[in-house]
Amino acid sequence: MARFMQAWLRVSHQRANIQQVRLLPLTIVGRSPECHLKIASAQVSRRHCQLSLRTDGVYVEDLASANGTFLDGARLPSRTPTYVRNG
């Protein structure tokens, strides 16, 4: 069985920290009640993006969201896992 790293996501809004969330091996983010991390915002799709823990790090993938997923100010291509550096 593969071992996954442990990682936390700091959720913030307008520079204010809201919460810290421990990531699951696959964490789905969106408005839907079925999502692991729920964000109640009209700008967030029902299933917006997913974060996956792999042996080499954390990856984020946009799930064809209406408004896109951004990393360091750049819009990510849909359905393409992108490495997230620590910090």
pLDDT in tens, 17-58: 788 999 999 999 999 999 999 999 999 999 999 999 999 999
pLDDT value for 5: 77
Domain 23-84 matching CATH 2.60.200.20: the answer reads yes
Given a contact cutoff of 8 angstroms between Cβ atoms, the answer to whether 26 and 34 are in contact is no
Closest CA to 5 of 50, 62, 52: 52
* Distance (Å) of CA 18 to CA 9, 21, 39: 11, 10, 11
Residue 82 pairs in a beta bridge with 60
**Mean of the per-residue pLDDT values for the chain?**
92
